Structure 1
Amino acid sequence: MYDLSTRKQALALVAQGRSLNSVSHETGISRAAIRSWQHRLEPLPRMTSPAPGPPADEYAYTYLLGLYLGDGCISAHPRSGYYLRIACADAWPGLIEQCREAICRVRPGIGIYVQPKQGCVAVTSYSPYWPQLFPQHGPGKKHERLIVLEPWQRAVVDAHPWEFVRGLVHSDGCRITNWTTRVVGGERKRYEYPRYFFTNKSDDIRRLYTDALDRLGVEWTHCTRGGAPFNISVAKKASVALMDRHVGPKY
């Protein structure tokens, strides 16, 4: 139904980072058709050249590593290569844009598209090298297998620890406002105070997070819920101020 130039034009829009929904609305072509053309018209690169070393933009990579460990996955393409998908909640459009920007800076020129899901989107990009850039990739759930940084990743995280913490918090964390009441001069008053939470089932990923906090001088505590130590809390005033300065809430 569509000639080759029409198909290539639609794929060019997707390659600019546009979502399938956006391209479909603009061109009148169904998302399913565009998705199928991505695989039929674009030859997939073969892994004939050596895998890239540490990314040139280590700052962006460290943030993306935090996002991947929290809400990311890598899946193999049926023929060759891999897709990186980072789940981002619809409630945080700024996070979606930061995720896309980080991928662009880690792999310049790569195609990125946004797949709508229920309550979230999957920021998705294709590269044959994602498993080399994220060697924590493997079968099964992250909390059911060992998660250890490679020496070159450790060096990158040590150089940019705040970006690593920011990526983890933006994926599996939040900044909330707690409150309590106290009786002062016979009158009960309400007091509010902010705190950061990070929640992840993987002991290894939580340890990577708390190790980074320790190096940065951020005080933290385990906050057990239902007998499960999955929550890391930062509530001390000075530590929250540090987190606000370098991490901040999602938006």
Structure 2
Amino acid sequence: MYDLGTRKLTLALVAEGRSLNSVSKETGISRAAIRSWQARIDPLPRMQRTPCSLCGPAAEPPSDKASYSYLLGLYLGDGCISPGMKKGYFLRIACADSWPGLIEACAAAVEAINPSGKAYRVQAVGYTSVVGYSGHWPCLFPQHGPGKKHERRITLEPWQQAVVDAHPWEFIRGLIHSDGCRVINWTTRMVSGERKRYEYPRYFFTNKSDDIRALYTDTLDKLGVEWAVYARNGNAFNISVARKASVALLDTHVGPKH
């Protein structure tokens, strides 16, 4: 037996246009069960609904702005919003199971921003989706829209930019926790005539969206963090931070995922 929340989330994935096979693999729920839910429950609407009852035609910043800035970074990296049944929406952030601390931090942020104060987890193969249900998500994340993020324009509303400006490190942490990593690179140097191995830490952020990468680098510039574009296979999707002082700043305010 599956609870109503799990059924709603599963049908929301189908409503995004995904195949029953891919949804079944992600959720571990059989295609037969999903078909039976589709037969019993009206198809999920795909169109935008009326403005949120909590904020009307214009959103207002949430009270916990630090948590919102972090959650915004997570959403831009590994998040999506899909319509649920009735008047609500699912916010879903995919978190790798390799980083249980990230899952907990993500859930805490969703709980802090969700008007209901709730978040729950849906286990998939290799990752956990942290999910919150609310009619408020499209207002809090107006970047929501049809298609993939890197295929559409992504800009922040003035109130969102003000939140990021007030809490830039939380925003950077969310972006790195979603689409970034801290690695140890190595090279060799000649020391007193002997070649020795030299290791140094480095941060990477990788995202296909030019707009999202620009939000990341613009915020790094304001924080005094030096960065460089690191092209791989001809694609300039990677932003590298390797200068010692800049890595130290990221170590202080972000650190490796755990």
Q: Greater shift after overlay, 181-190 or 57-66?
A: 181-190
Q: Contact between 1:178 and 1:193, CA under 8 Å: does it hold in 2?
A: yes
Q: CA 1:90–1:216 in structure 2 vs 1: closer, same or farther (change >3 Å)?
A: same
Q: If the length of structure 1 is used for normalisation, what is the TM-score?
A: 0.81
Match for residue 173 of structure 2?
166
Distance, in Å, in 2 between the alignment partners of 1:49 and 1:186 is: 70
Identity of aligned residues (%): 65
Query: Where in structure 2 are the equivalents of 1:35-184 lying within 5 Å?
Result: 47-51=52-56, 53-107=60-114, 109-184=116-191
Q: Give me the whole-angstrom Cα distance separating, in 1, the residues matched to 2:54 and 2:162.
A: 25
Aligned to 1:221: 228
Q: Distance in 1 between matches of 2:54 and 2:103?
A: 31
Work out whether residues 115 and 134 of structure 2, in 8 Å CA contact, stay in contact via their aligned partners in 1. no
Structure 1 portions without partners, runs of 5+:
13-29, 41-45
Q: CA deviation at 1:84?
A: 0.2
C-alpha distance in 2, partners of 1:161/1:57? 14
TM-score (norm 2): 0.79
Q: CA contact under 8 A between 1:110 and 1:126: conserved in structure 2?
A: no
Between the aligned partners of 2:176 and 2:91, the Cα distance in structure 1 is: 19
Contact 2:114 2:133 survives alignment (8 Å): no
1:222-251 CA distance string (max 9 Å, x none): 000111110000000000000001111100
Bigger shift: 48-57 or 220-229?
A: 48-57
Q: Aligned residue pairs: how many?
A: 218
* Distance across 1 between alignment mates of 2:54 and 2:126: 39
Q: Where does structure 2 lack aligned partners over 5 or more consecutive residues?
A: 6-28, 42-49
Supply the AA of the counterpart residue of 1:75: S
Matched, 1:196 2:203: yes
Q: How far 1:49 moved relative to its partner? A: 4.5
* 2:111–2:117 contact (8 Å) kept in structure 1: yes
Q: CA-to-partner distance for each residue in 1:77-134, whole Å, 9 max, x for gaps?
A: 1433100000000000000000000111112543321111111010011000100000
